[in-house]
Chain A
Amino acid sequence: QVQLQESGPGLVKPSQTLSLTCTVSGGSISSGGYYWSWIRQHPGKGLEWIGYIYYSGSTYYNPSLKSRVTISVDTSKNQFSLKLSSVTAADTAVYYCARDVYDSSGYSLYFDYWGQGTLVTVSS
């Protein structure tokens, strides 16, 4: 059974960089066949896809966040990470990591496994 677990600081100061890590267990990131995504949810609001990474290091980001987002992968630790720079209060949200299944064309099909989410608050 695949499991994902987010970790990182729950409080980040404005203008600083938010850093989160997602640890995958029960399966190898290096096995291929999946993208590895970050999604966030503002308090009481809907879901916003941030971006994803393939085990090779190829990344794709939401255009609205692209200038501030970096997603990286560490296959030796079976982890992938999110960095979001120059944060403001508008970046306060629950951040989820998820496994993203894609089809033969390379298009994502669905997110089948999710972490439980971690609340990150941006405040001084």
Chain B
Amino acid sequence: IQLTQSPSSLSASVGDRVTITCRASQGISSYLAWYQQKPGKAPKLLIYAASTLQSGVPSRFSGSGSGTDFTLTISSLQPEDFATYYCQQLNSYPSITFGQGTRLEIK
């Protein structure tokens, strides 16, 4: 299963509302997770099961969708949110795949 994220890169300002989309090449139910990665660091889990917020993750992050179309929304960008975001599908047993990433930059 292929995952296509859009956009590939995005410029935004602190306080903006941002939405990143992830489309699966076939249905994956809700087996989708979102990660944030900063340079030189391991990815950090934000959202799993498409819409469940991982413990400790700020509530400005939210996820939605099922089947083939998913979104990650950051309601009000904070300086620490500038990073690369990846979606991950876990339904194509036994192969797990990631999207190509969305780089979120400061405008």
Contact = CB atoms under 8 A, between A and B. Distances in A.
Interface of A: 37, 46-49, 60-63, 96, 98, 101, 107-112, 114-117
Contact of A117 (B42, B54, B93): B42
29 contacts: A46-B86, A46-B98, A46-B99, A46-B100, A46-B101, A47-B43, A47-B86, A47-B98, A48-B98, A60-B94, A61-B94, A63-B95, A96-B42, A96-B43, A101-B48, A107-B90, A107-B91, A107-B93, A109-B31, A109-B33, A109-B48, A109-B49, A110-B48, A110-B54, A111-B33, A111-B88, A114-B42, A115-B42, A117-B42
B42 A107 contact: no
Shortest 7 CB-CB distances between A and B: which pairs? A60-B94, A110-B48, A114-B42, A108-B90, A49-B96, A47-B98, A110-B33
Nearest to B5: A46
Contacts of A47: 43, 86, 88, 98, 101
A109 B91 CA distance: 9
Interface residues of B, number: 24
Q: What is the predominant secondary structure among interface residues of chain A facing chain B?
A: strand
A48 B95 CA distance: 10
A107 B97 contact: no
Contact of B45 (A37, A96, A112): A112
Interface of B: 31, 33, 35, 41-45, 48-49, 54, 86, 88, 90-91, 93-101
Contacts of A101: 48
Contacts of A112: 45, 54
A107 B31 contact: yes
Given A47-B88, A109-B90, A112-B54, 18 more contacts: A46-B99, A46-B101, A47-B86, A60-B94, A61-B94, A62-B95, A96-B42, A101-B48, A107-B31, A107-B93, A108-B31, A108-B96, A109-B31, A109-B49, A110-B33, A111-B33, A111-B88, A117-B42
